[in-house]
Amino acid sequence: MKKNGQRVGIEKIAAYPCSMSLDLTQLARARGADPDYPPQTLMASQRSVNPCWEDPVTMAVNAAAAMLDDQDRQAIEMLVVGTESSPDQGKPISTFIHRFLDVQPHCRNFECKHACYGGTAALMTAAHWVASGAAGDAKALVICTDQSRMHLGNPWEYVMGAGAVALLISNQPDVLEIELESSGYWTSEVGDTFRPTSREEAGNTENSVYCYLDALDGALTHFEQRAGGADLADRFARHIYHVPFGAMAYRAHRAFLRRTRRIGRAEFEDDFARRVRPSLTYVAQVGGTYTASTFYSLIGLVDSDDLSPGDRLAIFSYGSGSCAEIYSAVIGPHARERVSALDFQRQLDRRHALTVEQYEAVEGERTAYIDRPTYEPPLGALEPVYREHYAGKQRLVLRGLDGFFRQYGWS
C-alpha cells in the first residue's frame, strides 16, 4: 500500500534453519507416545536443534549474511531484531548483529520483544519508517531469531524449535508489498505463556490456545471496522497464521471462516487445503520458531504454491501476553525467484539428523551454560556436525564466554 506515495515491503528474504534436526516420530516413540501424534495431530514432522556454539546472534547473522550485498549494507539505516530469546537482559543482540553483518554505522538498532509478536512489531516499525520517506531511500533490516528452551518429557516438547529469518525492508517490495492501511490489531493482558527467568518458561499452554483465538477474533473485528465492512470471505487468495504448531493454523482458519460464512466440514477442508496448508510446508520441519513463524510460512507458501504477483494474503501474528495483528499484503513481482533461490528444502535436508539421546544431550549442554560467566563450547562433541556444517564455511559461531563477555568468530 502506498503511504505518502511510497510503496513498502520485503525486498529480500532469507532464512537459517540451523544445522541439526530431530524426527518427531522418533521422539514420540522414545516418550511412549503414538508416533502418528506429531505429524497427524500437530502437523509437525521435525524440529530444528541448535548446537551449543549457536545462539540467537549467530542464527540471525547466518540468516542475513548471504542475502546482503555491499549496497544493502550502505543503505540500511535501521536494524530491528525481533526475539524472545536474547541472552542478555540489557544489551541488545542487534549490536552484535550490526557488527558482524558489517552494516554502515549511521544506523538505528534495537531489539523488539513481545513474545512471538515481536517479529511483526519489528516489521511494522520498519515498514512505517520506510514508508514515511523520512530517510529517503534508506532501507531497514528486520531479523527474527529465536530458540526454545529445554522441555524434556513435557507434553509440549513436540512444538519446540529454532531458526531465524531475515527481511530487507525497502520501497522496492519485490517479495511482498505490505498494505499498511489494511490491518487490525488487538491487545489484552493475559498470562498464557511467559519466560520469567533465564532458564524457565511458565504459563498455561492450553489457555494459550484460547488466548490466541480470542486475539484473532479481536484483530479481525478491528480489521473489518477499518475496511469499512468489506466482506472478508473471499478477499484473500491465501492465509498465513502464526504457527506454534501447524494444527494451530487449522483452528485459526476455521475460526476465521465461521465469522464470514456458514461452511460445512468438506468445504472447510477444501478451503484449508487450498488457502492455508501450503504455508505449513517448512514450519512442519523446523518446529516452533516464535517471532519468525509467519515468515517461515511465507517462504513455504511462495515455494510450494502457484501464486502470482498481485495475489493478496492475510497474515496473522500473535504474541503471548498478548498482542495480535492481522494485515493484508500482496505478492511481489519477484517473490518466486527470490524464494526459490534460497533452495530451502535442500537446506533443511542437509541438517544433521540427531538421535533422541543426542538431542537430549545437546539440550542439556545448552541449558547448563546459561548464566555461567565462563564457557567454551565443545566443538568435537557432535562429530561430524562442526566439521561438515561449519569448518571453513564462514558461519558465525559462539567461541565462548569470558567473564560474561560473549566471544564470536567465523568458522
Q: Which CATH superfamily is domain 9-176+343-410 in?
A: Thiolase/Chalcone synthase (3.40.47.10)
For residue 75, count other CB atoms closer than 10 A to its CB: 20
Whether 242 is catalytic: yes
Q: Give the strands of the sheet with 323-331, arranged side by side.
A: 108-112, 76-82, 139-147, 162-170, 9-16, 176-187, 323-331, 312-319, 238-241
- For residue 244 the three cell numbers come to 506454534
pLDDT for 208:
85
- Tell me which of 98, 114, 242, 253 is the catalytic residue: 242
pLDDT the model gives residue 1: 47
Q: Could you tell me which residues come within 8 angstroms of residue 269 by beta carbon, excluding any fewer than 6 positions away?
A: none
Integer Cα distance of 209 and 214 in angstroms: 9
Give the residue among 239, 117, 229, 131 at the shortest CA–CA distance from 177: 131
Q: Where are the domains of the chain?
A: 9-176+343-410, 181-334
Give the 3-state DSSP-derived string for 314-360, with helices as H, strands as E and coil as C: EEEEEECCCEEEEEEEEECCCHHHHHHCCCHHHHHHCCEEECHHHHH
Give the number of other CB atoms < 10 A from CB of residue 41. Answer: 13
Q: Are strands 352-354 and 20-23 parallel, antiparallel or unpaired?
A: parallel
pLDDT single digits (tens) 37-82: 999 999 999 999 999 999 999 999 999 999 999 999 999 999 999 9
Crossing angle, helix 56-64 and helix 93-100, to 10 degrees?
Answer: 40
Render pLDDT for 254-280 as a digit per residue (tens, 0 to 9): 999 988 788 899 999 999 999 999 999
Query: Could you report the per-residue pLDDT of 301-349, keeping only the tens digit for each?
Result: 999 988 999 999 999 999 999 999 999 999 999 999 999 999 999 999 9
Q: CATH number of the domain at 181-334, out of 3.30.70.141, 3.40.50.300, 3.40.50.620, 3.40.47.10? A: 3.40.47.10
At 266 the three-state DSSP class reads: helix
Do strands 162-170 and 9-16 pair parallel, antiparallel, or not at all (unpaired)?
A: antiparallel
Over residues 240-264, the mean pLDDT reads 92
Rg value, the chain, Cα: 20
**Which residue in 84, 157, 325, 363 is the catalytic one?**
84
User: One of 18, 52, 112, 116 is an active-site residue; which one?
Assistant: 116
Q: Do domains 9-176+343-410 and 181-334 have the same CATH topology?
A: yes
